[in-house]
Amino acid sequence: MAKAKVATVWLEACAGCHMSFLDIDERLADLIEKVDILYSPVVDGKEIPQVDVGVIDGALGNEEEVHLAKEMRERCKILVGWGDCAVFGGINCMRNFLPPEKVLEEAYTDTKSTVNPGKIIPGEDLPALLPKAIPIDHVVKCDVYIPGCPPDADTILWVFQEILEGRVPKVPANMMRYD
């Protein structure tokens, strides 16, 4: 049987969700017998190919992330939202109480640890911030949701196994993790 083609992207997020994927540990060896990861932070892919399964980790917080999410939707038969940031917006939404200009000021000039005497805020070289950080399904249709911060490695593996068996899984409550 041909291997399933997989792409994963890491948008507005920390490394936790992809680290949880690696926590599948030695069972990764079995999974890799059945899937080809063609594009991901953990492999050296240059552009998102057409794949069977796409995984988005992270919320949408800027225009580049919206572009990547749309590209993933176009190129992935099944799209998985992976982690609380992708599913709900997650910790990124803490900035939603401030306008984007204030967020940039906080990030580049106002924090106690920042040394920026010229108060320079990068402008056109950075993708423009969206007014708020949002879950991915505010922009693209998502087929499978894996909440959790991060989702448990067992849950991630179970979702892959279900998809490889030809099912589009709905993660049961007892497999969700919010710690």
Site for ligand SF4, rule CB under 6 A: 13-14, 16-17, 57-58, 83-85, 90-91, 149-150
List the structure tokens of 86. Answer: 């992708």
List the structure tokens of 102. Answer: 């204030």
The residue (of 19 and 121) whose beta carbon lies closer to ligand SF4 is 19
The residue assigned the tokens 């920390």 is: 14
Contact 10, 58 (CB under 8 A): yes
Instruction: Please tell me the total number of residues recorded for the chain in this structure.
Output: 179
**Smallest distance from the beta carbon of 103 to ligand SF4, in angstroms?**
17
What residue is closest to ligand SF4 based on CB? 16
Q: Please give the Cα distance from 18 to 81 (Å, whole number).
A: 12
**Smallest distance from the beta carbon of 18 to ligand SF4, in angstroms?**
8
The residue (of 27 and 177) whose beta carbon lies closer to ligand SF4 is 177
The residue (of 148 and 169) whose beta carbon lies closer to ligand SF4 is 148
**Smallest distance from the beta carbon of 12 to ligand SF4, in angstroms?**
8
**Dihedral sign for Cα atoms in the order 147, 85, 46, 52:** positive
